Amino acid sequence: MSIDASRPEIAIAGRHLAKKFGHVQALSDASITVPSGKVVALFGDNGAGKSTLLKLLLGIHQKDAGELIVADEPVELRSVRDAQELGVDCVYQDLALAPDLSVVDNMFLGHELTRAGALGWAGFVDRAEMQERTDEALRRLSIKLPSLTVAVQELSGGQQQALAVARAVMWSKTAVLMDEPTAALGARQSEIVCDLMRTIAASGLGVLVVSHDLPRVLKVADTVTILWRGRTALEAPAEDLTVPDVVATMVGYGVGEAA
């Protein structure tokens, strides 16, 4: 897989974003830039606003202030559908897989209606095509599952995570956003998911990953953005940072708290 020269420079970005929930100022001045073909890690303490930032970039919540950019263009995202139509998809913190449905059904979950025209005549979903596209998407990422027709609850945690990643990639043209993709995984499975991030970026998509797994994600990231109490405290190349540097900024050293 090689990066297409026609790819946008910026896959997705947010500038000076603010978002308030009732009395809670979840974000006050958050900025992040995810270039095409790069992995950007978003770090921050619990409650720093990482998931909220992702949700603004996905059209799940609407920003109070700031600017969103997708594929080099300023955009307004009023719904998840808006983001999906621009080729932005995500792996949610809770996976959002349907445990009793098959691998194939999960790959199309949430997309079968919006893309019904492309999948079959008058909303008729072609099972054979669904299976073929699932097989192709998993093969592209070198993900091996015991069967495509097995219920997802019969897969291991790592296999489910890989499936959630493959689903996001299958529907993304521009960027894949991941919230804590390795949170429930053991060491080996986490490595596999981190390798997937590099594979996805190498295909030309922008990858944004929120994680508390600093050592592992720092190794695969190109750049790091650190949120501290709703604002961007640091954006820097990953190679310039150590885990203690990241932790210090996450807890506010040099940002305001302990400076």
Ligand X SMILES: Nc1ncnc2c1ncn2[C@@H]1O[C@H](COP(=O)(O)OP(=O)(O)OP(=O)(O)O)[C@@H](O)[C@H]1O
**DSSP output for 203-241:** TT-EEEEE-S-HHHHHHH-SEEEEEETTEEEEEEEGGG-
How far apart are the C-alpha atoms of 193 and 142, rounded to whole Å? 11
Three-state DSSP state, 178: strand
Tell me the sheet residues that pair with 248. none
CA atoms within 13 A on the CB side of 219: 8
Interface with ligand X (CB under 6 A), residue from 14, 35, 44, 59: 44
The answer to whether 41 contacts ligand X (rule: CB under 6 A) is no
* Residue 10 or 26 having the CB closest to ligand X: 26
The answer to whether 211 contacts Mg ion (rule: CB under 5 A) is no
The answer to whether 159 contacts ligand X (rule: CB under 6 A) is no
The answer to whether 181 contacts ligand X (rule: CB under 6 A) is no
**DSSP output for 5-26:** TTS-SEEEEEEEEEEEETTEEE
The answer to whether 50 contacts ligand X (rule: CB under 6 A) is yes
How far apart are the C-alpha atoms of 86 and 137, rounded to whole Å? 19
How far apart are the C-alpha atoms of 236 and 153, rounded to whole Å? 39
Question: Stretches 49-57, 121-129, 188-196, 199-207: which one binds ligand X (CB under 6 A)?
Answer: 49-57
* Residue 48 or 70 having the CB closest to ligand X: 48
We find the least distance from the C-beta atom of residue 49 to ligand X, in angstroms, to be: 4
The answer to whether 102 contacts Mg ion (rule: CB under 5 A) is no
The answer to whether 51 contacts Mg ion (rule: CB under 5 A) is yes
Which one of ligand X, Mg ion, none is in contact with 134 (Cβ closer than 5 to 8 A by kind)? none
The answer to whether 59 contacts ligand X (rule: CB under 6 A) is no
Interface with ligand X (CB under 6 A), residue from 52, 159, 160, 249: 52
Q: Give, as ranges, the residues between 108 and 147 that touch ligand X (CB under 6 A).
A: none
The answer to whether 52 contacts Mg ion (rule: CB under 5 A) is no
Which one of ligand X, Mg ion, none is in contact with 48 (Cβ closer than 5 to 8 A by kind)? ligand X
| Residue 67, both tokens | 């600017």
* Residue 50 or 167 having the CB closest to ligand X: 50
* Side chain identity at residue 208, one-letter code: L
Which one of ligand X, Mg ion, none is in contact with 206 (Cβ closer than 5 to 8 A by kind)? none
* Side chain identity at residue 48, one-letter code: A
We find the least distance from the C-beta atom of residue 239 to Mg ion, in angstroms, to be: 26
Exposed / middle / buried, residue 118 (Cβ in 10 Å: 0-12, 13-18, 19+): exposed
Closest CA to 78 of 92, 68, 89: 68
Interface with ligand X (CB under 6 A), residue from 24, 96, 113, 243: 24
Q: Which residues bind ligand X (CB under 6 A)?
A: 21, 24, 26, 44, 46-52
Q: Which residues bind Mg ion (CB under 5 A)?
A: 51
